Amino acid sequence: MAGKIDAYIDCVSPYSYYATLYLRRNRDALRSHGVEVELHPVFLGGINVGSGNKPPWTLPAKASYSKFDSERACKYFGVPQIKTPDFFPILSIMPQRCMIYIKRHYPQERYETTFLSLWEWMYHKNIDISKPEKLAELLKSHNYSDQEIKDILESAKSPEYKEALTANTQKALDQGAYGAPWFWVRNKEGKEEPFFGSDRFAFMWQYLGIPFQDVTIVEKAKL
């Protein structure tokens, strides 16, 4: 393996959504260069507390700017405009623990498509997926059986998955995380560095030694 991208993400973070979509769209290209991607659920609230950071919506200047940035990001990443629900922000602990359970018990594709639905239901359908009954509906839409749904939801209450989410969050903090998405990247030389956000992929590809086409300005044709 020529490299590894460990992505630490939370369903409460729209920028984790954009990054996940982008990495999945480019997974085959990354694999062609020997680079693997792994998605790790974390609790962003714990990262904020542990790092001393504050969510952007708690700071007036950031909150005001976020409207413009969100609209631009949705357009760039090719997703419908996000509608911030009245219940935002949610406490994401339960769905994040459930994602760890699904990651451990189901194939990668099913895990990741289920994870993506957390953002889709919350930001596009305005459904509070932190509510067990709503999360159960989401899982049902992905053809999990009633027993599987029960097991997944119960996992969020178990010490094993409480500790697993805490461990993932602490690992990100130990790497210097102060928000999400947070990436820990190992290149072909075995060196490792952190990257933050959904707009630093060009830096990441340079670090991994992956050829890419950067953003270029197309000169206007002369008449």
Residues contacting residue 203 through CB under 8 Å, at least 6 positions apart: 195
Instruction: Please give the structure tokens belonging to residue 163.
Output: 């500790």
What is the C-alpha to C-alpha distance for residues 46 and 96, in angstroms, rounded to an integer? 12
Q: What are 139's two structure tokens?
A: 């899982």
- Three-class SS state of 180: coil
Q: What is the CA radius of gyration of the chain?
A: 18
Q: Which sequence positions are flagged as catalytic?
A: 13
Q: Cβ(46)–Cβ(78) under 8 Å? A: no
Count the neighbouring beta carbons within 10 Å of the beta carbon of residue 46.
21
Pairing of strands 35-41, 3-9: parallel
Mapped onto helix, strand or coil, the DSSP state of residue 100 is helix
DSSP letter for 85, please: -
- Determine which helix (DSSP H) or strand (DSSP E) holds 40, and give its type and residue range: strand 35-41
Among the listed residues 11, 3, 6, the one whose alpha carbon sits nearest the alpha carbon of residue 122 = 11
